[in-house]
Amino acid sequence: MKIVNTVAEVREQVKEWRKQGLTVGLVPTMGYLHEGHKSLIDRAVADNDRVVVSVFVNPMQFGPSEDLESYPRDMDRDAALCEDAGASLIFHPEPSEMYHDDFSSFVDMSTLTGGLCGKTRPIHFRGVCTVVSKLFNIVTPDRAYFGQKDAQQLAVIRHMVSDLNFGIEIVGCPIIREEDGLAKSSRNTYLSPEERKAALVLSRSLKLGKKLIEDGEKDARKVIAAIRGEIEKEPLAKIDYVEIVDWNTLEPVESTEGEILTAMAVYIGKTRLIDNFIK
């Protein structure tokens, strides 16, 4: 496995693979890889001849008061995980390689990005769409892999790929959880032992909501109220949002029938965590 830092090196390697008729999968990440990322790489290795993992904490998707500086990084561990999982190349650029001094272009969309996480993170999806477009153009993969943990991101990327005619298959992969239910996230490392326990309220309340729906509750507002009630019992938790939306349009729904996304963002202390289920 190679680790490269420049766009030119990635292009050269992919060109070489293409000459040999090999297929290429891309797993875009911000590094500090965990079992969730590993599941994406595993799937990409199964589907493609060669797999590129990008490791880049993208400044453009962080708001001014967010955790860009403190976002955890551990390139040695990331490299070992990628190598073990069978990736062929890590692309680990400096911000200056991705954003030259007079950089000013962006990719954005007028639907899907305003609600859910977009409410508290207004420039986030513009940053995501822009950097993912860049990675798509640099790597030109056959397939790209995104976790359902970032459900809105997955929906946004799928929509962007369709709108802008990227010739790339987007593969969404299931949420990977700790044994006690907490969705794997690089940001879990921010949690104190006490907060780590409190963070279980996300998966626990979602499970409750899912059961209500499975038991026949059709009124989305009632399901949301039950989930909120469960979260509010936890003193360390502060709700950013709990919403039930159409999985394709991400518009709020009144009924729990059809393909819906139940999603939440909850602060545990200062750490903002997200979780969801799709049914």
Residues within the interface to a copy of itself (CB under 8 A): 7, 11, 100, 102-112, 129-130, 133-134, 137-138, 140, 159-160, 162-167, 249
What is the DSSP annotation of 190-256?
Answer: G--HHHHHHTHHHHHHHHHHHHHHHTT--BHHHHHHHHHHHHHT-TTEEEEEEEEEETTT--B-SBS
Least Å distance, CB 244 to a copy of itself, is 20
The token pair that represents 211 in the structure block: 């059961």
Whether 100 is catalytic is no
Pairing mode of beta strands 271-278, 260-268: antiparallel
Q: CA 26, CA 145: separation in Å to the nearest integer?
A: 6
Query: Measured from the CB atom, is 137 or 255 closer to a copy of itself?
Result: 137
* Of 58 and 185, CB closest to a copy of itself: 58
Phi, psi of 169 (to 5 degrees): -85, 125
Rounded least distance, CB 159 to a copy of itself, Å: 7
Question: Toward a copy of itself, which CB reaches closer, 5 or 162?
Answer: 162
Give me the catalytic one of 37, 92, 124, 159.
37
Instruction: Strand 169-173: give its sheet, edge to edge.
Output: 2-4, 89-91, 50-55, 24-29, 143-147, 169-173
- Binding-site positions for beta-alanine read 61
What's phi and psi for 252, nearest 5 deg?
Answer: -55, 145
Residue 81 to residues 12, 69, 132, 174, Cα–Cα distance (Å): 24, 23, 22, 19
> Which residues are documented as binding site for (R)-pantoate?
61, 153
What is the smallest separation between the CB atom of 86 and a copy of itself, expressed in angstroms? 26
Q: How far is the CB of 3 from a copy of itself (least distance, A)?
A: 19
The residue (of 67 and 108) whose beta carbon lies closer to a copy of itself is 108
Residue 209 tokens, joined? 């909501």
Residues tagged in the binding site annotation for ATP: 30-37, 147-150, 176, 184-187
Catalytic positions are: 37
